């Protein structure tokens, strides 16, 4: 009888395991050396390991805060990759608003768990499947991110961008230094189309100037989800969305001829004032564009009563109220380190103050052009073809008109159908796409403003192929 050494026996068992179960092993990040401290720039932080009783995530998770200023603290909820946290990239998620909590993205769109308001349930398709996934509540005063006084919240992209950079610097140098060289992707939804380009530009400029708060990680790409980049183009896109003979990719003909004629009459003034806003980036021009473009958008606005609406996608989904309920549970807040905090999915007061100051009415074109012309950052733009507020035809107009060095090559591309394989392995048509190496647009059928909630499997496949720099499946 042949006798095997202990080492050979162990090796054989490993080989058998590989054959039976594959070669992928989950690997966790090195845990933080301590649970609280102060960054090299003097910003206090704390972190707490959480478990599946708080969010049934199927992987390691952490929550924490960074005091970005004496009167402002930013909150994050971080999920390590389910696959290999030591090798997988970081995708940081920002919800829009302004002043919408990123808990919307966590519990209702791309996170590893969802909630019914009382408990959580693990999701299969999640962006944490093969990426490290932090959700950040910002600007301060949003969600679980706090201010000493209401007036302490930042009200501009410039001010909020500085706070965001401090959080990211602290996160990647003091809390999880093992991620300091990991490829970074920043995803933003809705008003995230203004947040992410502006914050990314500031972050890169701090890196180039070798500033003390320079974030060590390299920003590899920006992912925009139904993201508002230019309100005037979005307004004009409603004409294509409601009054077009074309079908598909967000085009349709659901309005009557009288309404469509009125919208088309208002279009030239909207377009002219929108161009003035893009050229000057002044508040007067922005407010002028808002006024002129109301002649196009008023018909949809008048036709939807969001306070009485009960059926998505014309109004907010039930999941919104459920996640707000869950985040206000005393047991949940205690586990997160809060007590009697009034959690709001959207801080409408802060939202109004941002609008009054003016950044939300200005386009993102200058920040986008800088990033496309001066850096190597790639852009993935995903849009729900049923979205109205950030409609696909408007996004197509905005990206085609963006004057960057690759504009002509991008505009020349023709839309092609794309597909994905669902959970059963069946190939399903999903929409239209076009793009070049640095800029890819993907329209997603049967999805509204919160695209990953409407088509989680399709969007996850787009994301995974994007991270691997693979082409989408045609057909």
Evaluate if residue 5 carries a pLDDT over 70: no
pLDDT at 310: 53
Does 161 map to a domain? yes
Quick one: which of 287, 281, 72, 62 has its CA closest to 175? 62
d(CA 358, CA 35): 39
- Sheet strands (E) in 294-384: 378-384
Quick one: which of 336, 309, 360, 310 has its CA closest to 143? 336
Which helix (H) or strand (E) element contains residue 385? Answer: none
**Residue 362: which CATH number?**
3.40.50.1820
Does 307 map to a domain? no
Give per-residue pLDDT as tens, 282-341. 999 999 999 999 999 999 877 654 444 455 444 455 778 999 999 999 999 999 999 999
Per-residue pLDDT band for 24 (boundaries 50, 70, 90) equals very low
pLDDT at 423: 81
DSSP string computed for 227-240:
--S-HHHHHHHHHH
Of the listed ranges 294-303, 348-357, 414-423, the least confidently predicted one is 294-303
Does 13 map to a domain? no
Average pLDDT of the chain, as a whole number: 90
| Residue 54 per-residue DSSP state | T
Does 177 map to a domain? yes
pLDDT at 319: 79
Does 315 map to a domain? no
Evaluate if residue 76 carries a pLDDT over 70: yes
Give per-residue pLDDT as tens, 181-225. 999 999 999 999 999 999 999 999 999 999 999 999 999 999 999
pLDDT top residue among 5 and 351: 351
Average the pLDDT over 157-175 and give the result. Answer: 97
Of the listed ranges 293-302, 347-356, 412-421, the least confidently predicted one is 293-302
Q: In the chain, what percentage of residues exceed pLDDT 90?
A: 82
CA 66 to chain centre: 21
pLDDT at 11: 38
Does 260 map to a domain? no
Does 368 map to a domain? yes
| Residue 312 per-residue DSSP state | T
Per-residue pLDDT band for 381 (boundaries 50, 70, 90) equals very high
Please tell me the total count of domains within the chain. Answer: 1
pLDDT top residue among 473 and 73: 73
Give per-residue pLDDT as tens, 428-437. 999 999 999 9
pLDDT at 312: 47
**CA distances, 451 to each of 144, 160, 190, 264, 458 (Å):** 24, 26, 10, 28, 9
pLDDT top residue among 11 and 176: 176
Average the pLDDT over 440-464 and give the result. Answer: 94
Average the pLDDT over 166-170 and give the result. Answer: 98
Per-residue pLDDT band for 124 (boundaries 50, 70, 90) equals confident
Q: Which domain holds residue 425?
A: 29-252+320-475
Give per-residue pLDDT as tens, 240-254. 999 988 877 788 878
pLDDT top residue among 59 and 25: 59
Does 104 map to a domain? yes
Task: List the structure tokens of 140.
Answer: 């301060």
């Amino acid at each position: 009888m042949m006798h095997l050494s202990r080492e050979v026996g162990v090796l054989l068992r490993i080989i058998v395991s590989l054959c039976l179960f594959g070669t992928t092993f989950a690997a966790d990040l090195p845990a933080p050396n301590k649970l609280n401290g102060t960054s090299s720039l003097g910003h206090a932080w704390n972190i707490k390991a959480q478990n599946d009783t708080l969010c049934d995530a199927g992987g390691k998770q952490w929550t924490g805060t960074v005091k970005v200023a004496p009167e402002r603290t930013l909150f994050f909820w971080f999920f390590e990759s389910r696959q290999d946290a030591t090798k997988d990239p970081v995708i940081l998620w920002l919800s829009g608003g302004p002043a919408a909590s990123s808990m919307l993205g966590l519990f209702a769109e791309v996170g590893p768990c969802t909630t019914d308001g009382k408990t959580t349930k693990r999701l299969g398709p999640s962006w944490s499947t093969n990426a490290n996934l932090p959700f950040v509540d910002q600007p301060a005063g949003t969600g679980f991110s706090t201010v000493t006084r209401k007036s302490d919240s930042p009200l501009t992209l410039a001010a909020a961008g500085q706070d965001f950079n401090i959080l990211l610097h602290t996160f990647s140098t003091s809390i999880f230094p093992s991620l300091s060289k990991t490829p970074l992707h920043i995803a933003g939804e809705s008003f995230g189309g203004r947040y992410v380009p502006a914050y990314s530009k500031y972050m890169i400029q701090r890196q180039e100037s070798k500033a003390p708060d320079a974030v060590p990680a390299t920003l590899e790409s920006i992912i925009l989800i139904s993201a508002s980049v230019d309100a005037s183009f979005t307004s004009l896109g409603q004409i294509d969305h409601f009054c077009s003979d074309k079908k598909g990719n967000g085009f349709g003909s659901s309005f009557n001829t009288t309404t469509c004629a009125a919208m088309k009459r208002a279009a030239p003034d909207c377009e002219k004032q929108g161009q003035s806003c893009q050229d000057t980036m002044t508040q007067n021009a922005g407010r002028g564009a808002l006024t002129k473009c109301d002649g196009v958008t008023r018909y949809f606005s008048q036709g939807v009563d969001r306070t009485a609406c009960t059926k998505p996608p014309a109004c907010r989904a039930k999941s919104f109220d459920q996640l707000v309920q869950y985040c206000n549970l005393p047991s949940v807040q205690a586990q997160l380190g809060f007590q009697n905090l009034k959690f709001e999915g959207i801080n409408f007061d802060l939202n109004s103050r941002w609008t009054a100051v003016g950044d939300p009415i200005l386009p993102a074109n200058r920040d986008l052009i800088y990033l496309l012309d001066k850096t190597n950052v790639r852009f993935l733009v995903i849009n729900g073809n049923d979205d109205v507020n950030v409609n696909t035809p408007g996004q197509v107009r905005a990206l085609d008109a963006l004057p960057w060095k690759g504009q002509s090559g991008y505009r020349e591309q023709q839309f092609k159908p794309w597909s994905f394989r669902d959970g059963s392995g069946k190939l399903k048509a999903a929409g239209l796409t076009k793009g070049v190496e640095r800029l890819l647009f993907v329209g997603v059928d049967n999805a509204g403003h919160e695209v990953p909630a409407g088509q989680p499997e399709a969007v996850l496949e787009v994301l995974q192929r994007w991270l691997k720099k693979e082409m989408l499946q045609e057909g």
